[in-house]
Structure 1
Amino acid sequence: MENTQDLNNKPLTKQQYFVISSMLFGLFFGAGNLIFPIHLGQLAGAHWMTATAGFLITAVLLPLLSVLAISVTRSQGVYDIGKPLGPVFALTFMILIHATIGPLFGTPRTATVPFSVGIQPLLPLSFDQVGLLVFSALFFGAAFWVSFKESNVMVSVGKILNPVFLLLLFSIFALGFLSPMGQAAKQSVTAAYQYQSFFNGFLEGYNTMDALAGLAFGVTVVTAVKQLGKTKPSENAKVTAKAGVFATAAIGFIYVVLVWLGSTTLAHFKVSADGGVAFNQMVSYYLGGFGHALLATLLTVTCLTTAVGLVAAFAQDFHKHFPRVSYRTWLGMMCAASFLTANFGLDTIIAWSTPMLMFLYPFAMVLILLSVTSPLFGRDPVVYALVVGFTTVPALFDMVGAFPPVVSQSGFGQMLTNFQHHVLPFANLGMDWVVPAVVGAVLGLGYHWLRPAFDKQRATFTERN
């Protein structure tokens, strides 16, 4: 039975809040959190501040709300977030989330980012593919070994090396302020960011995948808060929110500086294909060869700790819902699939992850907002069904439009895109799901609040007849 009273009635200490905040920071801050803000800065140039404002909503505020959604609804994972829509939807949503932050895109990126930043620049071009093959095999072999043994080695190493990594990162920040590469306000702006920098920054925040990760890892944080004695749901939510604000504020600060630094790099470098290249250029500019090698080593360890968390969470969740397959078998399949995907390279992974994120993020956003506000309507399945149902078609259109040209520029792709832009408001901003979702919410809430009156009238009519 759910606890309704706290086991610990005393306020948590600053140290306890620091522990929870550090856990949240560690769960959210991974490979993509470094490369995408820098790339955003290069794309936005002089408009970096407006782009950052949009980026912070989906890369900072939304992940915080995703953790709160787990706490408010007392969920045990992603499955429970989608449960008001039935077990089929809940299971499908869970699989898609784990596949996206897992073997298809998120986990392979933990190997490709340190490779593209640290190893690839040192190799001849002809050895790029072989180098990635060997590096990713060793990387996911290590992730499998640590997770298989269920060892605390990587956690212990992370406690030492992650702070060192952050110290080096902040040293780059300091150098960037003391000796900036250029003036951010004077840098060129790419075409997409000339007039829609806020909304493009908003969409770029999808790439961090942190809102999806928050749904997958939120239960870890909520459980940790319970272990500190805050078992009453309202108190648990308050502690989670407060610790979440501290953690996401720290991440938000790092994002702002990284975006600014990315824009200043345009004084010396062209816009790169991805943030991994830009990060490598920036580190080499400020710290030279030795600093680059040291930071690349620490980045590899940091990404490895993230990979261990991802593969373990994937295996645990899938073993829970598909118990005939053991935890360790799921773990092996996860690591093998991530290894295979990683060898397509960072650019390919980013290109093909974008359509899935454009499809999943509208669902994630409406489910997060519905979960956080669910006490207002008692998690009524009708409200969920109407909001999610109205969001589905725009999300599908956005997915098709975000595919690489082989799909998006095909006759079918262009036909859908033309229809989307003529019919749905804000389609040119990538926000065409907003109006349908609001319509669904108005209809759903209206039905929920007016249903008692309708039921009463129906009962009266039945009695009279």
Structure 2
Amino acid sequence: MFFGAGNLIFPVHLGQLAGVHWFSAALGFLFSGILLPLGALLALAITRAEGIFDLARPLGKGLALTFLILVHATLGPFFATPRTATVPFSMFASHFAPSMQGLALLIYSGIFFGIVYFMSLKEGKITERIGKLLNPIFLILLFVIFLFAFIKPMGSADTTKASEAYLTASFTNGFLEGYNTMDALAALAFGITVVTAIKSWGIKSAKETSISMAKAGVVGMAGIAIIYLISIFLGATSLHHFALSENGGTAFAQIANFYMGPIGEALLATLSTITCMSTAMGLVIAFAQDFHKRFPQISYKIFLTVNCGISFVFANLGLNQIIAWSTPVLMFLYPIAIALIFLGITSPLFQNDATTYRLTVFFAFIPAIFDMLNASPAVISQTTLAKTLTAFAGQYFPFFNLGFGWFTFGICGYFLGLVAHFIKAKTGNQNFEMEE
């Protein structure tokens, strides 16, 4: 479920952007694309939370519900789920005349989300359908492309040119590029689906469920990390034959055509459709399960129908528009998600104290607003107000120009929270001793 639309195109695109600096960029990408999702699963395991709401519960019910809705709206009908249809379509869209691409996308996305809807109606079958059918097919198809690339490399990555942003900050830009996979958010959202699947195998206790989730996360993420490294390297070497692509989907199609001609492109279209469909299933099921749990008066089927319908509509805006508008949203949500993941992992240190949660998230929230404005399309980022605010942040927020304005703020909030927790604990013990 974790390897879907963005996971196919963004590593290849990152390789093209980073060029000779592909490896340092890859390390940054692995931090945000692998370690953060793994950390999210570990946070769920440690806190024994079933998903986003439970993990964010120390912030208060209202804030936890708000964050759940924002994440699911991003992973669901507005960005990630529509992207699962537009990414595979973009890989063979060049075969249609420009005037026909709108109609072709309409038909393709309609069929795509129709299949996703009917395969997701019975939520209990998610493990069988994704694990036993779609994933093995996807892995075989991906292996074929990588095998051709290994036998006949397109050139040396060490002699390719890096884009300007990656000449001096390849690691940090690679880290931010990993946001586009949305996997840290997805890991939080998939928590309830993973827990449901584990329990269906006969594992009942909370401790055994947590251990199983952690083990599955380590094994699965290690496999995805290998795929990322190969894809990023492949993107860097492709610069010997192709110009920098617009979104990565085109680059992947060109690479497949280079090695296997039209057959390669057909293979890639099949591969991307299968893996993106499996991710779409995971997303729409997690969305429907989580919202049905919070609003039980509305059925799972209704939430599933609404999600698939809105996703179909937004998919027809096209991949480039989806990416352009999802970037600022991710720059806002990711710092909050990172704070919650870190808090969940270290929660035994402060006994899940709500004060530590609230201070850490609040301090990370402040620069996240400025990051969102800075990453917005020109219609927002070039307004007088936005330029004034981002100029202020660039001058006074450490690392803001690198996209890491949240880092020092979050650390300060965390340590203030720890201090507050230990003061409360000490004061409470003293009061108890005085009463005795």
TM-score range (shorter-chain normalised) is over 0.9
Q: CA deviation at 1:452?
A: 3.1
Q: 2 CA distance for matches of 1:239 and 1:176?
A: 35
Does the 8 Å contact 2:3/2:275 carry over to 1? no
Q: 2 CA distance for matches of 1:164 and 1:175?
A: 17
Q: 2:10 corresponds to which residue?
A: 36
Q: 1:399 corresponds to which residue?
A: 372
Give the partner amino acid of 1:376: L
Structure 1 unmatched runs, 5+: 1-26
Query: How has the CA–CA distance of structure 1 residues 383 and 171 changed in structure 2, closer, same or farther, with 3 Å as cutoff?
Result: same
Q: 2:156 corresponds to which residue?
A: 183
Q: 1 CA distance for matches of 2:299 and 2:305?
A: 10
Q: 2:120 corresponds to which residue?
A: 147
Q: 2 CA distance for matches of 1:55 and 1:196?
A: 12
Q: CA deviation at 1:152?
A: 4.5
Cα RMSD for the two superposed structures: 2.0
Q: 1:10 corresponds to which residue?
A: none
Mapping of residues 220-369 of structure 1, within 5 Å? 220-226=193-199, 231=204, 233-369=206-342
1:54 and 2:35 matched: no
**1:209-259 Cα distance to aligned partner (Å, 9 max, x none):** 111110011233344445556555555444432332211111000000000
1:162 and 2:135 matched: yes
Query: How has the CA–CA distance of structure 1 residues 381 and 158 changed in structure 2, closer, same or farther, with 3 Å as cutoff?
Result: closer
1:125 and 2:93 matched: no
Q: Which moved more, 1:316-325 or 1:81-90?
A: 316-325
Q: CA deviation at 1:72?
A: 1.1
Query: How has the CA–CA distance of structure 1 residues 328 and 188 changed in structure 2, closer, same or farther, with 3 Å as cutoff?
Result: same
Does the 8 Å contact 1:155/1:305 carry over to 2? no
Q: 1 CA distance for matches of 2:322 and 2:212?
A: 36
**1:89-120 Cα distance to aligned partner (Å, 9 max, x none):** 010010011111111111001100111113x1
Q: 1:86 corresponds to which residue?
A: 60
Q: 2:427 corresponds to which residue?
A: 454
Q: 2 CA distance for matches of 1:309 and 1:135?
A: 20
Does the 8 Å contact 1:230/1:236 carry over to 2? yes
Q: Which moved more, 1:152-161 or 1:47-56?
A: 152-161
Q: Which moved more, 1:307-316 or 1:160-169?
A: 160-169
Q: Which moved more, 1:221-230 or 1:251-260?
A: 221-230
What is the TM-score with the length of structure 2 in the denominator? 0.95
Q: 1:138 corresponds to which residue?
A: 111
Q: 1 CA distance for matches of 2:127 and 2:359?
A: 44
Q: CA deviation at 1:185?
A: 0.7
Q: 2:173 corresponds to which residue?
A: 200
What is the TM-score with the length of structure 1 in the denominator? 0.89
1:213 and 2:192 matched: no
Query: How has the CA–CA distance of structure 1 residues 140 and 114 changed in structure 2, closer, same or farther, with 3 Å as cutoff?
Result: same
Q: 1 CA distance for matches of 2:429 and 2:267?
A: 71
Q: CA deviation at 1:142?
A: 1.8
Query: Across the two proteins, how many residue pairs are aligned to each other?
Result: 435
Give the partner amino acid of 1:62: L
Give the partner amino acid of 2:235: G
Query: How has the CA–CA distance of structure 1 residues 97 and 196 changed in structure 2, closer, same or farther, with 3 Å as cutoff?
Result: same
Q: 1:110 corresponds to which residue?
A: 84
Q: 2 CA distance for matches of 1:209 and 1:444?
A: 28
Q: Which moved more, 1:230-239 or 1:74-83?
A: 230-239
1:100 and 2:55 matched: no
Does the 8 Å contact 1:182/1:267 carry over to 2? yes
What secondary structure sits across from 1:28 in the alignment? coil
Q: 1 CA distance for matches of 2:47 and 2:333?
A: 20
Q: CA deviation at 1:160?
A: 3.7
Q: Which moved more, 1:243-252 or 1:356-365?
A: 243-252
1:172 and 2:145 matched: yes
Q: CA deviation at 1:455?
A: 4.0
Does the 8 Å contact 1:117/1:296 carry over to 2? yes
Q: 1:389 corresponds to which residue?
A: 362
Q: CA deviation at 1:146?
A: 2.3
Query: How has the CA–CA distance of structure 1 residues 151 and 131 changed in structure 2, closer, same or farther, with 3 Å as cutoff?
Result: farther
Query: How has the CA–CA distance of structure 1 residues 41 and 415 changed in structure 2, closer, same or farther, with 3 Å as cutoff?
Result: same
1:64 and 2:38 matched: yes
Does the 8 Å contact 2:8/2:272 carry over to 1? no
Does the 8 Å contact 1:162/1:298 carry over to 2? no
Identity of aligned residues (%): 52
Q: Which moved more, 1:249-258 or 1:452-461?
A: 452-461
Does the 8 Å contact 1:47/1:193 carry over to 2? yes
Q: 2 CA distance for matches of 1:258 and 1:314?
A: 29
What secondary structure sits across from 1:355 in the alignment? helix
Q: CA deviation at 1:151?
A: 8.2
Does the 8 Å contact 2:190/2:282 carry over to 1? no
Structure 2 unmatched runs, 5+: none
What secondary structure sits across from 1:433 in the alignment? helix
What secondary structure sits across from 2:155 in the alignment? coil
Give the partner amino acid of 2:184: A
